Structure 1
Amino acid sequence: MHIILFILFQFLPAVATQQQPIKTTVTKQEEKAMHLIATLPEVIKFNTYVVERSGRPLVIVVDNDPTKTNPFYKVSVSEDVGERLRTRYWFYVDAKTYAISYWDVANDKIIPLKTWRKNGSKM
């Protein structure tokens, strides 16, 4: 049994080094996309509400980078509820124009920010 465990542990470092490294940096474009979302009046208002209620600020993360078929940064706005993040809203930021759209999850539609606001953005 000890020999099997020894052999297993000998190979674990080799397996671990073959995995993709964890991304720990943010590009200037990702930072700009997150900043655009963080400075939306609706997000600022919701952050104030969340901080007053829980003492924890919202967490804004780029979930997806643009690709050839999807030229958007997908940015999530989440509450830190302690043991996990609870995503409340998703926005899409165009990688070229930085135009912002909102993902209406209930209807699975991406709508322009202006339309979302017109329809009574609910945060």
Structure 2
Amino acid sequence: MIEIGRGLQAIGLILLLVFTSAVAGCTNVREVETMSSAEEASRRFIDEDVAIRVVASTPEVTGFRRSTPAPCLIQVERYPTAGEPFYVVSVAEDLGDRLVMYRQYTVDAYSGDIIE
């Protein structure tokens, strides 16, 4: 076994304590504190399901759904970002072998309003 002198043991212990206290302060950062402004903005966006329900409840889409025997597909085509805070939601008729586009809607990702 290797013998280490008392002075070297004391220095090693001091360095270990200093190193662990300094590094622990750097690595113990909560995720919220390191969140970028883009991530912060995206946390306030309405949910995808809310955007789909907003489009599905418009008079045009409810009328279209009643007028066609084929299933109606309502889906999000584009998701919001901090730079473009809106959903693009499409409404299509599902004919089995193909989809026929009816209309696209732009939904504000903060308020849920349809943007004309």
- Structure 1: any 5+ residue segments left out of the alignment? 1-27, 102-110, 112-123
Please report the TM-score for the alignment, with normalisation by the length of structure 2: 0.57
Structure 2 SS opposite 1:88: strand
Structure (1 or 2) with the greater helix fraction: 2
Give the deviation of 1:63 after TM superposition.
Answer: 0.7
Structure 2 SS opposite 1:69: coil
Q: Which aligned runs of 4 or more in structure 1 are off by greater than 4 angstroms? A: none
The structure whose Rg is larger is 2
Given residue 48 of structure 2, which amino acid in structure 1 is its aligned partner? E
- Structure 2: any 5+ residue segments left out of the alignment? 1-45
Provide the residue aligned with 1:114 in structure 2: none
Structure 1 SS opposite 2:64: helix
Provide the residue aligned with 2:19 in structure 1: none
Q: In percent, how many aligned pairs have the same letter?
A: 38
Kept in 1, the 8 Å contact 2:71–2:95? The answer is no
Provide the residue aligned with 1:80 in structure 2: 94
Higher relative contact order (CA 8 A, sep 6+): 2
Give the deviation of 1:57 after TM superposition.
Answer: 2.1
Q: Equivalent of 1:31, from 25, 37, 49? A: 49
Question: Which string of whole-angstrom CA distances, capped at 9 and with x for unpartnered residues, describes residues 38-79 of structure 1?
Answer: 11111111111112xxxx221000011101221101000001
Given residue 37 of structure 1, which amino acid in structure 2 is its aligned partner? V
User: Within the alignment, does 1:43 sit opposite 2:57 as a pair?
Assistant: no
Aligned length: 71
Kept in 1, the 8 Å contact 2:86–2:108? The answer is yes
CA RMSD of superposed structures (Å): 1.3
